[in-house]
Amino acid sequence: MEYEKVKPPEQGEKIEYEDGKLKVPDNPIIPYFEGDGIGKDVVPAAIMVLDEAAKLYGKEISWFKVYAGEDAYRLYGKYLPDDTINAIREFRVALKGPLTTPVGGGFRSLNVTIRQMLDLYANVRPIYYLNGVPSPIRHPEKVDMVIFRENTEDVYSGVEWPRGSEGALKVIKFLADELGVNIREDSGIGIKPISEFATKRLVRMAIQYAIDNNRESVTLVHKGNIMKYTEGAFRDWGYEVAREEFGDVTITETELWENYGGEAKGKIVIKDRIADNMFQQILTRTDEYDVLAMPNLNGDYMSDAAAAMVGGLGIAPGSNIGDGIGVFEPIHGSAPKYAGQNKVNPTAEILTGALMFEYLGWKEASEMIKKAVEKTIQSGIVTYDIHRHIGGNLVGTREFAAEVVKNLQNL
């Protein structure tokens, strides 16, 4: 493939995708971009750790630097150049830093654009506790959830028109004339599509993940009591997937109690919860929830709230997964006021890299990274965000990553 302003490394091999599975060489080429704000601090720190973990695991990554965000605009005159999208398509797995999205006007979210252009339909965010991290809840060790958030639809589809625009007025008129629905003329209008196709492939991935990782339950989180034909349909289609495609290994919560006496006996329990109730459930009945599947907006809110339970966005990894393609990014934003200060916590980006290793099939290396990060924090070597709560030895972004590397070497 030809690139305009970047060149893939001469060393390394492509990751391939055959028969529904990744074929990962020992020396994969992996594109990465630092993004905006603190991305320039945390991504290089993470790569330092990932390189060491890969080496200890007998692998070697050939990194391919590409651009998105402000750097890309300076180089290409656009925030998301074709080179970057083409590189991810060609090499299949990428590591990214945070990208700034303006509130209100300005360009559309680059994160959402990347997900939609590459059909990265599942935003997968594991939420788990690292010993030593300060938490606002009494028993953070009970938190061990994996959130599957649908990534391409819902209000994030970007189909909307501003107040008073020709598009908004046309939609308002159509609804009034054709369907008898009256909406105030000074309204902005947005469309919330939720399809059977997108719902089922997300829930299918969530259930398969539960099977592959010996998880006990999958909970469908929705607001179907109010939005019956979008979020309510999400719930119904989710149960259909479980029943029709995984009926031999799943049971509903009702069946659990009526037919199994409350003992799942190796079956994965499929249940559902109303979204607002789920926010209290993850706090009051934390250990009853395992894998969660939900529409886009619910997933955005829920994953941030769950991350707060284990110490905040600074330690929360994330990923965007499609069929044979994945882009890995931390949950946190670009925090431009801290950019370039060698101050922020790189843990989220480091653990995002660990999640990427897990996706590549390098599970032992992924676990090594988690243990080394946890050991570093437990030893009291921490960045400012944790230091202000528990004290210890205050270090910068690079120094924290260097300490994680030392702990990797001594596991």
- Binding site feature residues for NADP(+): 100, 332-338, 345, 384, 388
Q: Give the residue carrying structure tokens 């979008």.
A: 230
Which residues is 321 bridged to in the sheet?
Answer: 122, 326
Per the structure block, which two tokens stand in for 211? 């099977």
Is 241 strand, coil or helix?
helix
156 is catalytic: yes
- Residue stretches of the annotated binding site for Mg(2+): 300
Q: Are 91 and 57 in contact (CB under 8 A)?
A: no
Given 276, 304, 370, 406, the catalytic residue: 276
17 classed as catalytic:
no
If DSSP states are collapsed to H, E and C, what string results for 265-314?
A: CCCEEEEEEEHHHHHHHHHHCHHHCCEEEECHHHHHHHHHHHHHHCCCHH
Q: How far apart are CA 214 and CA 127, in angstroms?
A: 16
Nearest residue to 119 (alpha-carbon basis) of 343, 336, 322: 322
Distance CA 310, CA 331 (A): 13
In the annotated binding site, the residues are 100, 109, 111, 115, 125, 149, 300, 332-338, 345, 384, 388
Neighbours of 17 (CB within 10 A): 14
Nearest to 79 by CA among 96, 103, 99: 99
How far apart (Å, rounded) are the C-alpha atoms in residues 66 and 186?
A: 43
Binding residues for D-threo-isocitrate, as ranges, are 109, 111, 115, 125, 149
DSSP 108: P
Pick the catalytic residue from 156, 209, 289, 359. Answer: 156
The C-alpha atoms of residue 77 and residue 147 are separated, in whole angstroms, by 36
State the DSSP H helix or E strand holding residue 401, giving kind and residue range, or none if neither.
helix 397-409
To the query of whether residue 82 is one of the catalytic residues in this protein, the response is no
Task: Decide: helix, strand or coil at residue 146.
Answer: strand
User: Which of the residues 223, 272, 289, 290 is marked catalytic?
Assistant: 223
Per the residue annotation, which of 36, 41, 154, 300 is the catalytic one? 300
30: alpha, beta or left? (left if phi > 0; alpha if psi -120 to 50): beta
- Asked if 113 contacts 80 with a C-beta cutoff of 8 angstroms, the reply is yes
236 noted as active-site residue: no
List, by residue number, the catalytic residues. 156, 223, 276, 300
